[in-house]
Amino acid sequence: MLLSYDWLKDYLDINLSPEDLGEKIERTSVEVDSVSKRSDGLKKIVVGKIISFEKHPDAGHLNICQIDVGEDEPLQIVCGAPNVEVGKKVIVALSGARVGGNIKIKKAKMRGVQSNGMLCGLDEIGFSKDVVPDEWKDGIYFLPDDAKLGNSVFDYLGMNDPLIDLDVTPNRGDMLSLRGAVYDLAAVFDQKVNFDEKAGKELGQTESKTDIKAHADEDLAPIYKLKVVKDVEVKPSPLWLQIKLWNLGIKPINNVVDITNLVMMKLGQPLHAYDLSKIADGDLRVRRAKPGEKITTLDEEERELSALDVVIADSEKPVGLAGLMGGNDAKVTKDTTDIVIEAGVFAPVATRKMAQKELLHTDASQRFERGIDKGNVENALNYAAGLIQDLANGRASQGVVIGSDEVVKPVTISISAERINHVLGTSLSEKEITDIFHRLGFTVENKDHEMLVTVPTRCWDIKIDADLIEEVARIYGYDNIPVTLPVTVTTEGSFTPKQQLIKNSRKILLGEGLTHAISYSLTTEAKAKMFLLNDSNETNLQWPMTNDHAVLRMNLLSGLLDDIAYNQARGVEDVPFFEQGRVFFREADQVRPTEVEHIAGAISGSLAQSTWNQKATPMDFFGMKGIVTKYLETLSLADEISYEATDSISEMHPGQTALIKLGDEVIGFVGQVHPSTAKAFKIKPTFVFELDLDKLVTAKKSEQQYQQVSPFPKISRDMAMLVNDDITNAQVYAIIKRRGGAFLKKVTLFDVYDGEHVPAGKKSLAYSLTFENPKETLKDEVVNKAVAKITKHLQDELDVEIR
């Protein structure tokens, strides 16, 4: 919403520069997007007069014009506009001028003829096509005949008026008019204003009701009033009116339409004028559209309506979309003589829905959605009729015709100084507060420290005491509110065990060399379903923006693989990532998915790059398993972690993937991404893990107790054995652990070999066993006995050959 600085100054004493005024508005009312003038960035554009012109000898569409710009000699300018006319005052961009689009004008030859400038249309000096009147759409613009030759054109076209662009929040619909802004600034500057624009006397003899009837359902239009003006002379508006409108971003159409728009911008009441002769049976009503009904609106769009739409209709057909835009059939044209002006209040929700459905957000709909001053409807209607009498020679009929007329009263809210200070932390006196309310134009009745504040209808969004507190805060000034810290009972802030575990998990993985990635939770259907340990239904968005972000992820890995692909495509080969976040599982009968915290890692390439003394080791299965194992060790899980080969995850390498189990429960997996999957993602060999973090959070933890370091020497024994290829380390390890006796403290696999000297179908495993007795010196016989027992069981159960 654009606010004209010059227009404001008609009502207020403003001692601030436009920029400072913008700043003031931003600090007290609504955000200001910009403060600018239409002339910003333009220069050397002056008034000239066409003395003569002749056709260009080599280009029929060009004219060679002689232009008087108040200098001794006329300027020769070649112009392609179709409407050059001797005697007209025109916009001349001199050589060295800067025009719209930051274009610089230079002397030049045009098809061999010298041209010392440019004659301009409005669009060429920066006017948006949306505001250039249709009559000036093609060709150059004619300035008023009294424009002084050689003067800058800016003042003649209102281009030096500073325009303040407001970003009006939904609660400040009152700021969508000059009237609202003036009252608001009057409160800020503590000035008295009177903005009651009264209409002149109706000149017509007939009554409005003889020519028009009105009906409106109060739910659709709580207020709906019409007034007839006859014998209007429809023509372009005077320049001052056109300037006001185009400066506010509205295209001048004709005097009648322009007046309705002017009144909307000035008083905040959207109006519409119909050609009375086009209204069948002189009957206008606000009603729901009939399904299938059609209307062509002023923008020449044909729209098919549904029963949710609200229209203004005559006895035959819709003539307007209520609160949005009039229909093309009943619009005011140059042939119109009698008009009916409509002023109403349309229901905000219906207007908003219709505007959304029709993608038709108009100045009117913007206002009806936020609400308008219901106490000023008839005044605005009469004021517009008066202006039409003045500017279009019309004769307003007597009275208005009422379709609906909700009784509107000012709201009275009870509040106290104590309450206001309690909320703001201020210590304002009742007098200071009363003063602020008076500045806002509210009346205050004091009753034993209660203040009964009556709010005029022009501030329709103020309904409860909190709203009044806001008014006090912004007029008193947010800068003047003290700065304190809350005084309350002391509370202890701490992370929950779950939050702590998640924070620690991130820390450990960072320490292990993985970088924290955050990828998108919304992904494609295919990626959402990858890397699943259990079946789950996917959760789809109803209206995704793109297929790339349409389904909630059920794994973190697919996002990490995308990240790896992104990096490797850009020449970053070694990519170690982890991510921690939610995945979303859903049973068939579940509407809302279950959110599960996961943590996942993916490494492609090496953790550390090759250097002068170290060769990079590419990540492999055991590297990744080591990372997961170390991470899990830091969690002090009470139950044992084990790894079990799996070929059930189709995106994973069938021979290099392990389920990770905590006790008997599967909590995730680790392994190599299936080469086909890696190929599909366009990534190099990649090793990954994904864990259910929630299961780790709830898992039983071991009490981390201090164990005394044994003062007695430990005894180590190495056991090497030949086993069949299909025997796993886990099987051997389990037997050693189970049969090793009370003093077996540690079992470490230190060699796996299946090369030379090992028979086919066999492999050699070597373990180091450490025995320790914290109570006394361990005897060799005890250890020998334990090793013998282990050996026997290994031989019996796994058929190993001890070497």
Partner 1 sequence: MSLKEDLETIKQNGLKEIDASTDVKSLNEIRVQLLGKKGPITQALRGISKLPVEERPVVGSFANIIRDELATAITTKQTELENAKLNAKLAEEKLDVTLPGNQVALGHPHVIQQIIDEIEDIFIGMGYQVLNGPEVEEDHYNFEMMNLPKDHPARDMQDTFYITKEILMRTHTSPMQARSLEKHDFSKGPLKMISPGVVFRRDTDDPTHSHQFHQVEGIMIDKHITMADLKGTLETMTHKLFGDKFKVRLRPSYFPFTEPSVEADITCMNCGGKGCDVCKGSGWIEVLGAGMVHPNVLKMAGVDPKEYGGFAFGVGPDRFAMLKYGVNDIRDFYLDDLRFLSQFD
Contact window for partner 1 (CB under 8 A) among 484-492, 677-685, 729-737, 779-787: 484-492
* Three-state DSSP state, 650: coil
Q: What is the distance between the alpha carbons of residues 458 and 440, in angstroms, rounded to a whole number? A: 11
String of contacts with partner 1 for each residue 635-674, x by CB under 8 A: ----------------------------------------
490 binds partner 1 (CB under 8 A): yes
By C-beta, is 172 or 303 nearer to partner 1? 172
Q: Which of 8, 18, 29, 177 binds partner 1 (CB under 8 A)?
A: 29
Q: Looking at residues 206 to 265 of the shown chain, list those that interact with partner 1 (rule: CB under 8 A).
A: none
Q: What is the distance between the alpha carbons of residues 22 and 33, in angstroms, rounded to a whole number? A: 9
474 binds partner 1 (CB under 8 A): yes
Q: What is the distance between the alpha carbons of residues 722 and 393, in angstroms, rounded to a whole number? A: 114
Q: Is 799 exposed, middle or buried (0-12, 13-18, 19+ CB in 10 A)?
A: exposed
Q: What is the distance between the alpha carbons of residues 582 and 548, in angstroms, rounded to a whole number? A: 18
Q: Looking at residues 136 to 175 of the shown chain, list those that interact with partner 1 (rule: CB under 8 A).
A: 169-172
CB of 520 to partner 1, least distance (A): 5
Contact 480, 394 (CB under 8 A): no
By C-beta, is 611 or 704 nearer to partner 1? 611
By C-beta, is 235 or 507 nearer to partner 1? 507
By C-beta, is 385 or 509 nearer to partner 1? 509
Q: What is the distance between the alpha carbons of residues 25 and 14, in angstroms, rounded to a whole number? A: 12
Q: Which of 222, 268, 576, 740 binds partner 1 (CB under 8 A)?
A: 576
* Three-state DSSP state, 428: coil
467 binds partner 1 (CB under 8 A): yes
Q: Which of 6, 26, 218, 435 binds partner 1 (CB under 8 A)?
A: 26
CB of 33 to partner 1, least distance (A): 9
By C-beta, is 438 or 516 nearer to partner 1? 516
- Residue 312 is encoded by which pair of tokens? 């203004």
- Contacts of residue 676, Cβ cutoff 8 Å, sequence gap at least 6: none
Q: Looking at residues 544 to 563 of the shown chain, list those that interact with partner 1 (rule: CB under 8 A).
A: 544-545, 549, 552, 563
By C-beta, is 292 or 482 nearer to partner 1? 482
Contact window for partner 1 (CB under 8 A) among 117-125, 198-206, 307-315, 575-583: 575-583
CB of 215 to partner 1, least distance (A): 25
Contact 122, 139 (CB under 8 A): no
Q: Half-sphere exposure of residue 663, counting CA atoms within 13 Å on the CB side? A: 9
* Three-state DSSP state, 754: coil
Long-range CB contacts (within 8 A, 24+) of 546-550: 548/523, 548/524, 549/520, 549/522, 549/523, 550/522, 550/523, 550/524, 550/525
Q: Looking at residues 102 to 141 of the shown chain, list those that interact with partner 1 (rule: CB under 8 A).
A: none
Q: Looking at residues 502 to 531 of the shown chain, list those that interact with partner 1 (rule: CB under 8 A).
A: 503, 506, 509-522
Q: Which helix (H) or strand (E) holds 263?
A: helix 255-267
478 binds partner 1 (CB under 8 A): yes
CB of 248 to partner 1, least distance (A): 22
Would the CA dihedral through 615, 620, 625, 628 be positive or negative? positive
Contact window for partner 1 (CB under 8 A) among 187-195, 271-279, 462-470, 689-697: 462-470
Contact window for partner 1 (CB under 8 A) among 21-29, 394-402, 756-764, 794-802: 21-29
Q: Which of 60, 482, 711, 713 binds partner 1 (CB under 8 A)?
A: 482
Q: Looking at residues 414 to 453 of the shown chain, list those that interact with partner 1 (rule: CB under 8 A).
A: 422-426
By C-beta, is 569 or 788 nearer to partner 1? 569
Contact window for partner 1 (CB under 8 A) among 117-125, 148-156, 227-235, 540-548: 540-548
Q: Looking at residues 349 to 368 of the shown chain, list those that interact with partner 1 (rule: CB under 8 A).
A: 349, 352-353, 356
The number of beta carbons lying within 10 Å of the beta carbon of residue 759 is 10
CB of 26 to partner 1, least distance (A): 6
Q: Looking at residues 692 to 751 of the shown chain, list those that interact with partner 1 (rule: CB under 8 A).
A: none
577 binds partner 1 (CB under 8 A): yes
CB of 534 to partner 1, least distance (A): 19
Q: Looking at residues 329 to 348 of the shown chain, list those that interact with partner 1 (rule: CB under 8 A).
A: 348
By C-beta, is 548 or 665 nearer to partner 1? 548
Contact window for partner 1 (CB under 8 A) among 60-68, 91-99, 273-281, 492-500: 492-500
What strand order describes the sheet that includes 641-645? 515-516, 575-585, 594-604, 686-692, 665-673, 652-662, 641-645
Torsion of the alpha carbons at 271, 277, 282 and 288, rounded to the nearest 10 = -50
By C-beta, is 510 or 730 nearer to partner 1? 510
581 binds partner 1 (CB under 8 A): yes
By C-beta, is 365 or 657 nearer to partner 1? 365
Q: Looking at residues 589 to 618 of the shown chain, list those that interact with partner 1 (rule: CB under 8 A).
A: 591-593, 595, 607-609, 611-614
Q: How far is CA 692 from CA 174, 632, 665, in A?
A: 53, 12, 11
Q: Could you tell me which residues are beta bridge partners of residue 411? A: 455
What is the DSSP track for 435-477?
A: HHHHHTT-EEEEETTEEEEEE-GGGTT--SHHHHHHHHHHHH-
CB of 623 to partner 1, least distance (A): 11
Q: What is the distance between the alpha carbons of residues 5 and 11, in angstroms, rounded to a whole number? A: 10
Q: Half-sphere exposure of residue 458, counting CA atoms within 13 Å on the CB side? A: 21
Q: What is the distance between the alpha carbons of residues 401 and 229, in angstroms, rounded to a whole number? A: 12
Q: Could you tell me which residues are beta bridge partners of residue 296? A: 302
Q: What is the distance between the alpha carbons of residues 300 and 294, in angstroms, rounded to a whole number? A: 12
CB of 136 to partner 1, least distance (A): 33
For partner 1 (CB under 8 A), the number of binding residues is 97
Q: Which of 485, 588, 742, 760 binds partner 1 (CB under 8 A)?
A: 485
By C-beta, is 619 or 658 nearer to partner 1? 619
Residues 618, 624, 626, CA angle at the centre, nearest 5°? 115
Q: Which of 53, 578, 743, 771 binds partner 1 (CB under 8 A)?
A: 578
